[in-house]
Chain A
């Protein structure tokens, strides 16, 4: 099946710093990328949807200036958590779609200390 690679798989950062998470589709062109967040014991929640070459569409309650999404190519999308705080600690996961199905990356566990 299609492969989506997400890096890093885990990261610990200091409060106030920024963290970039990459999501790559390895064997298909991902016209749409989805970013999700999962807090402990909670469901996966969609944060934003991005189409290649255009601005991301954010879900209600997600700050677009804090969670910067770039989808500049058909194989790469990045999520940057700016000025991270402990409450941003979560499991972030991307999903890439080439039009038919969507495939998940491995997820990134972010811990902000």
Chain B
């Protein structure tokens, strides 16, 4: 079983739509959780950390369920510029080394 699993998509949504991505992780000892965004052929960029209490940053809301080992990302009022691959990321046992999911592809259309 992969350490971090995501639905690869693609998710095709119209502008203004709300879209949700889910992710599960296998290592119950994981401590840190993140969502990264990766544009084609570019490095991943941190979108937001994910906290147990849930956290929001503008149109983006992240949730963590430790009992179910499940992470989610909600994007409201989608913009064309949100089109990218969203990576669910969990820390490994090696300090700051990270385990990445394969990513979920999002395409926002006019």
Q: Which residues of A contact B (CB under 8 A)?
A: 6, 32, 34, 36, 41-46, 49, 57, 91, 93, 95, 97, 101-102, 104-107, 109
Contacts and interface: CB of A to CB of B under 8 A. Distances in A.
B102 A46 contact: no
Contact of B100 (A43, A91, A97, A107): A43
Contact of B102 (A42, A101, A102): A42
B97 A34 contact: yes
A34 B44 CA distance: 14
Nearest to B95: A32
Contacts of A34: 96-98
Contact of A106 (B8, B42, B87, B94): B42
Instruction: Identify the 4 closest CB pairs spanning chains A and B, nearest first.
Output: A44-B100, A43-B102, A102-B96, A104-B43
